[in-house]
Amino acid sequence: MTSSQNTPPAIRIDSQFDSGNIEVLSVDGATARLAIPHDHMSEFRQWFHFRVSGAAGRELVLKIVDLETSAYPAGWPGYRACVSEDRDFWGRADSEYDAKADGGTLTIRYTPASDLAWFAYFAPYSMERHHDLVSEAAASEGVSYRALGTTLDGQTIDCLELGEGDKQVWLYARQHPGESMAEWWMEGALECLTDPADPIGRALRQRCRFHIVPNCNPDGSRRGHLRTNAVGTNLNREWETPSADKSPEVLAIRNAMDATGVDFAMDVHGDEAIPAVFLAGFEGIPSWTDDLGDKYYRYRAILERRTPDFQTAKGYAVSKPGTANLSMSTNQLAERFGACSMTLEMPFKDNDDLPDAEQGWSPERCQILGRDCLASLLEWLDEGN
């Protein structure tokens, strides 16, 4: 028998599936050199999602290169790639970042027990799972469904509505499709709100009318984009002047908000670089008042008290008076409706305040945080809002 017959075949890497995204530069045995393609018609690139086959019992060495020119180079130091063999449980693989190697290289090492291993920037939330989530919620008692509009790829912008109260609450997620933790959060929130035995959900349904958009950007989600829709538009920079040709998603959602009004809004996201959960508010809007600002600060204080997964020390810089970017949804809704609006950010990395060596920040923690955010909303309402 020749030595070549003793050599295991090279691994196979593919990404032609829902939210898949990787470029294979070379493969040598169980080692591969990879790159992340740009979002279509955009300079953003950071999201990866691919499958490795022929891997059982072999140490995979996967090198993703040229990351110093990715969208958020600060997202790679301290980051560990997500990995799954059953696409149900997502753990973390040993990962190391070298900014000086090959334009910035993330080296992922993992030895799978089975023949297939899946790797992603964060645990993916597929469009098929999205449809399951929407259908299950829509079948729950007291929930109505409506299509707000259609995307450029012809997908539907799904909205779920429930509750008998007079407070108009909008929850919306995945304006940036690669921030898949946002829809895991939505799954936890919807489980709370649609469970007839859940006391938090029951009380909130009595007080509020909920309008929930679990995925604002289905085109980008399916295409495997980090931050943009089918034509390279960053939806969270379109809220001042959305258009049917560039941002029909925002146009449809904002029109629906105009019809209902907005009292409270949460825009759910993920942050590449900051290893913490935090909120961003609307400081700097032209119509800022201390009374409106206090509503936001009180909600933030309640959430910090309710869960150790949330903190207020780390986050974004606060805008100076009159300098808020009104093309971002949180600022636009506060200015447009006088709403207590906010952006929730979760980490792609771990939560350094409460680290988990096996999973880092995980889908399970996103779901729990969704419930904690709703419990905080109920307490906030009980304080007289």
| Owning domain of residue 107 | 12-120
375 within some domain = yes
Are 67 and 207 in the same domain? no
Contacts of residue 330, defined as CB under 8 A and 6 or more positions apart, other chains included, come to: 265, 267, 280, 281, 282, 341, 342, 343
Residue range 322-326: average pLDDT? 98
User: Measured between alpha carbons, how far is residue 153 from residues 230, 231, 349, 351 in Å?
Assistant: 7, 10, 31, 35
339: its two tokens? 């709403």
User: Cα separation of 169 and 165, whole Å?
Assistant: 10
Question: Domain end: 120, 147, 180, which one?
Answer: 120
Are 114 and 147 in the same domain? no
Q: What is the CATH number of the domain that holds 367?
A: 3.40.630.10
Is residue 2 pLDDT above 60, yes or no? no
1 within some domain = no
Are 165 and 314 in the same domain? yes
pLDDT digits (tens, 9 = 90+) for 63-101: 999 999 999 999 999 999 999 999 999 999 999 999 999
Helix 181-194 vs helix 363-382: angle between axes, to the nearest 10 degrees? 50
User: Cα separation of 361 and 351, whole Å?
Assistant: 6
The model's pTM: 0.98
Write out the H or E segment, with its range, that includes residue 251: helix 248-260
Residue range 159-178: average pLDDT? 98
Q: Does the active-site annotation cover 345?
A: yes
Question: Residue 4: its pLDDT value, please?
Answer: 55
Question: Residue 385: its pLDDT value, please?
Answer: 80
Are 115 and 230 in the same domain? no
**In 10 A of CB 344, how many CB atoms?**
24
Question: Domain end: 86, 101, 120, which one?
Answer: 120
Catalytic hit among 136, 345, 379, 383: 345
pLDDT digits (tens, 9 = 90+) for 96-114: 999 999 999 999 999 999 9
Is residue 211 pLDDT above 60, yes or no? yes
Residue range 375-381: average pLDDT? 98
Are 73 and 201 in the same domain? no
Integer Rg of the chain from CA: 21
